[in-house]
Amino acid sequence: MDMTRILEVFGPGCAKCKALKKSTEEAVEKLGWQDVEILYNTDMGEVIQRGITATPALAIDGKIVLSGQYLPTNKLVQLLQEIV
């Protein structure tokens, strides 16, 4: 993988959003991904602009892959493996 993969967690700063950020960090670690940047976006204007209708949400390289739910680390690992 030559380029940095961007994972972005969206939400207003609620407990579920923070939990999704933490499980995203843990999933990336479990997968052994190196070139990854994890962003946490609480700008609700941008959330709306990106077409996200429910938070928490997760985007990989700009593509929304999860919306309106929190996934624990093991489920997120499965999701990321299927997508990438």
Residue 28: what pLDDT? Answer: 97
Helices within the chain (DSSP H only): 15-31, 44-49, 73-83
**Measuring CA to CA, how many Å separate 58 from each of 7, 21, 81?**
7, 9, 14
Residue 5 near residue 63, CB atoms below 8 Å = no
Residue 1: what pLDDT? Answer: 44
- State yes or no: pLDDT of 55 exceeds 60: yes
Calpha distance 48→4 (Å, rounded)? 25
- Which residue segment(s) compose the domain that 27 sits in? 5-83
Please state the domain count of the chain.
1
What type of residue is 1?
M
**Mean pLDDT, residues 28-48 taken together:** 95
**Mean pLDDT, residues 50-70 taken together:** 95
Could you tell me the two tokens for 41? 């976006």
**pLDDT-derived band at 3, boundaries 50, 70, 90:** confident
Could you tell me the two tokens for 83? 């997508």
**CATH number of the domain within which 51 lies:** 3.40.30.10
User: Is-above-0.85 flag for pTM?
Assistant: yes
What integer best gives the mean pLDDT of the chain? 94
